[in-house]
Amino acid sequence: MKFFIDTANLEQIKEANDMGVLDGVTTNPTLMAREGIKGEENCRKHYVDICNIVNGDVSAEVIATDYEGMTREGEELAALHQNIVVKVPCTADGIKAIKYFSGKNIRTNCTLVFSPGQALLAAKAGATYVSPFVGRLDDISSDGVELVGKIVDMYTFYGFDTRVLAASIRSAQHIIQCVEAGADVATCPLAAIKGLLKHPLTDSGLATFLADHQQVNS
Ligand code: E4P
């Protein structure tokens, strides 16, 4: 199970990387905008800055929505750094672009996936990763973790190489549920990763250990 951090915030990326458990980063246009990064040149510089922090895959999303635009933009993004994975929306042009990229050995992350059928097309086109959006499905009273499990089962049954990257993770509980569903990767906000550490028995146990040590050593 790999951990990616789902942010374009360099401080958070550094903090997660310093924990020693980070395998990569995912970004999207909303996350880039949240950091106030404007313009093509600044976006590309920011992707390189992220790649220089983390030794792992970094998803950079195309803005173009047509096949020609996606392939042109994706090739430019992939040329920025060897760790860039081109993130492509799950549309007809996106699937065609993923097929093109897989023929050029450019790695891809098929994003905005909400159904097994979309995940099937992504895998058949040769996507490196498929990103089912867990939290956004839960938001509409659907079951995001169930979708992750269905995609894992389908890919296992047919022997697809595409990795299942659980996205739109909102909590530590989501991460554990995605582990149980067999996801290859979870991309998570820093708070959800840190949430895995929280347990009251760890806190009270540590307090007792330190108090007992203090008692005999003072
Ligand atoms: C990452 O690849 C996705 O773009 C991201 O996880 C979406 O998360 P959200 O649904 O919280 O915006």
Summarize pLDDT for 159-176 with one digit per residue, the tens. 999 999 999 999 999 999
> What's the Cα-to-Cα distance from 32 to each of 46, 53, 67, 126, 159, rounded to whole Å?
9, 16, 23, 26, 34
Nearest alpha carbon, ligand 1 atom 8: 168
Q: What confidence tier does 66 reach under pLDDT thresholds 50, 70, 90? A: very high
Q: Is 177 in the pocket of ligand 1 (CB under 6 A)?
A: no
Nearest alpha carbon, ligand 1 atom 1: 167
Nearest alpha carbon, ligand 1 atom 10: 168
* Contacts with 158 (C-beta within 8 Å, 6 or more apart), sequence order: 123
Ligand 1 atom at shortest distance from the alpha carbon of 87: 2
Crossing angle (nearest 10°) for helices 10-18 and 40-53: 10
CA-based nearest residue to 80, from 44, 128, 35, 127:
44
Q: Is 136 in the pocket of ligand 1 (CB under 6 A)?
A: yes
Whether residue 25 contacts residue 59, with contact meaning beta carbons closer than 8 Å, is answered with yes
The tokens 């995940």 sit on which residue?
119
- Residues 57-62, mean pLDDT to the nearest whole number: 98
Residue 69 pLDDT: 98
Crossing angle (nearest 10°) for helices 172-181 and 144-158: 30
The residue to mutate among 23, 28, 58, having the most atoms of ligand 1 within 8 angstroms of its beta carbon, is 28
Q: Is 128 in the pocket of ligand 1 (CB under 6 A)?
A: no
Residues recognised as catalytic: 87
CA-based nearest residue to 152, from 182, 130, 180, 174:
182
Ligand 1 atom at shortest distance from the alpha carbon of 136: 10
Q: What confidence tier does 138 reach under pLDDT thresholds 50, 70, 90? A: very high
Q: How far is the CA of 58 from the centre of ligand 1 (A)?
A: 14
Nearest alpha carbon, ligand 1 atom 5: 168
The tokens 């950079």 sit on which residue?
60
Q: Whole-prediction pTM value?
A: 0.96
For residue 144, give the 3-state DSSP assignment: helix
Average pLDDT, the chain: 98
